Amino acid sequence: MKKVLLEALGVALVGTLVAFLANGLSPRGLVLDHDYFPSAGAARTSHPASGTHTNSPTEMLAASLKSVGLELIDSNQVLRLYHDPRRDQDLLLFVDAREEDPYAAGHIPGAFEFNHFHAEKYVATVIPACQVAQQIVVYCNGGNCDESRFAALALRDYLSGVSKTNLLIYGGGMTEWATNRLPVEIGERHSGRLLDYDAVATPGR
Amino acid sequence: MSSPLSSRKDLLIDGAAVLSRWVLGGLFVWMGLQKALHPEPFIILVRQYELVTNFYLLNVISAVLPWFEVFCGLLVLAGIAVRGCTLVMLALLIPFTLLILKHALALASAGSLALCAVKFDCGCGNGEVYVCHKLAENSLLILLAAGLLCVHRRRWCARFSLW
């Protein structure tokens, strides 16, 4: 039994070293000293005072975003911004905080891809565009998805002088957007390919 | 001189041991790679379990654990340090299975659901699954690992024991 324990210890030690090395060499490896969820602790520890009424999930989300200096917008507000003429001039930007594959599968037309886990990939494209934009709407899947919050915080780190009113979080996210059958662009930004909801609903027809 | 019956029995046990190694090792490699090649969803899931509050520890667990699984899986597949590896696998499987159960019970209670109706992504590498299926799968893996730990079968092992 002692030999088995020693063997297990050996496997564990060598395995740990190999794992660290593999993570370091992997192009998708995590950076160990990077906080991928900044201000998450502050946002999570806010509790309603005893005796107050129970807040709705939306109110709680708005309060938690406000605590980190971000503003939540709803579907009506996001639709107004989508139709705002400033969007055509790239003075109003949409930023998709999800990973590459969900982004390519469908995003709000004209939205930039910005995965905060690999923010350095987007320094040359997204950051310069955000620096001249007057307003930036960040979204992810919506619901329990936190990615838009962390993407917005990462963007704020890169952009100096970005005030609260410039960075907005669309709480409903892509799930709500698609549920409302709003335009969805497939592939890369400005690909021109829009999702055909009817074709998706009735395949083969 | 061994009888034909005991030879046949030995062959069956050897076959079961080899098959167990391949299933256990193969699954560990597959699930480990799913997480290692897509670390972002995995770190989000690890965070949801609220095991650690320090971001450095969170990053280390999320970065190292998947590759560690792949490493152990490859060793078991090749038949190297089999008993040590399976002991390590048990040390990973048992607490993780209990964690999944705890999380599922919390979700079931919060949603007033039956336990087996709970479905979520446990961070195992195969997306959202019904918790009962996952618990059954993990229980099988625990049995396989425990069996390999107890049975000294060296057939088709590159190096069954390190010494």
Q: How many CB atoms lie within 10 A of CB A180?
A: 10
Q: If you measure CA to CA, which chain B residue comes closest to A117?
A: B40
Q: Do B68 and A15 touch (CB under 8 A)?
A: yes
DSSP structure class, residue A70: -
* pLDDT tens digits, B38-92: 888 888 888 877 778 888 999 999 999 999 999 999 999 999 999 999 999 999 9
Cβ-Cβ contacts under 8 Å, B62 against chain A: 30
Per-residue pLDDT at A49? 40
Helices (DSSP H) in chain B: which residue ranges? Answer: 4-36, 39-48, 55-78, 82-111, 131-150
Angle between helices B131-150 and B4-36 (to 10 degrees): 130
Greater confidence (A188 vs B158) lies with: A188
Q: Do A19 and B68 touch (CB under 8 A)?
A: yes
Nearest Cα neighbor of B75 from B143, B163, B161 is B161
Q: Which of B36, B84, B87 sits opposite A26 (nearest CB)?
A: B36
* pLDDT tens digits, A37-95: 876 544 444 444 444 455 677 888 888 888 888 889 999 999 999 999 999 999 999 99
C-alpha span between B63 and B79 (Å, rounded): 25
- Nearest-neighbour CA in chain A from B5: distance (Å): 30
- Nearest-neighbour CA in chain B from A88: distance (Å): 32
Q: Is A27 exposed, middle or buried (0-12, 13-18, 19+ CB in 10 A)?
A: exposed
Cβ pair A98, B41 in contact under 8 A: no
- pLDDT tier for residue A12 given thresholds of 50, 70 and 90: very high
Greater confidence (B128 vs B158) lies with: B158
Cβ-Cβ contacts under 8 Å, B63 against chain A: 19-20, 23, 29-30, 32
Q: Do B55 and A31 touch (CB under 8 A)?
A: no
Q: Is B1 exposed, middle or buried (0-12, 13-18, 19+ CB in 10 A)?
A: exposed
Map A108-162 to HEC letters.
CCCCEECCHHHHHHHCCCHHHHHHHCCEEEEECCCCCCCHHHHHHHHHHHHCCCC
Tell me whether 0.90 is exceeded by the ipTM. no
- pLDDT tier for residue A201 given thresholds of 50, 70 and 90: low
Give mean pLDDT, residues A28-41.
79
- Least confident residue range of A10-14, A199-203, B126-130: A199-203
* pLDDT tens digits, B100-156: 888 888 888 877 778 887 777 776 666 677 888 888 999 999 999 999 998 888 878
Which of B47, B48, B53, B60 to mutate to test binding with chain A, by most A CBs within 10 Å of its CB?
Answer: B60
Q: Which of A3, A11, A147 sits opposite B85 (nearest CB)?
A: A11
Cβ pair B100, B52 in contact under 8 A: no
Cβ-Cβ contacts under 8 Å, B67 against chain A: 18-19, 22-23
Cβ-Cβ contacts under 8 Å, B94 against chain A: none
- Nearest-neighbour CA in chain A from B69: distance (Å): 8
Per-residue pLDDT at B120? 72
Per-residue pLDDT at A39? 61
User: What mean pLDDT value characterizes chain A?
Assistant: 84
Per-residue pLDDT at B45? 81
- pLDDT tier for residue A205 given thresholds of 50, 70 and 90: very low
Per-residue pLDDT at A155? 86
- Nearest-neighbour CA in chain B from A74: distance (Å): 24
Give mean pLDDT, residues A28-43.
75
The structure tokens listed for B79 are: 């038949």
Cβ pair A89, A75 in contact under 8 A: no
Per-residue pLDDT at A43? 43
Which of B28, B45, B68, B151 to mutate to test binding with chain A, by most A CBs within 10 Å of its CB?
Answer: B68
Per-residue pLDDT at B53? 81
pTM for the full predicted model: 0.74
Q: Distance between terminal CA atoms of chain A?
A: 65
- pLDDT tier for residue A108 given thresholds of 50, 70 and 90: very high
Per-residue pLDDT at B111? 76
User: What mean pLDDT value characterizes chain B?
Assistant: 87
Cβ-Cβ contacts under 8 Å, B128 against chain A: none
- The pLDDT of residue A143 is above 90: no
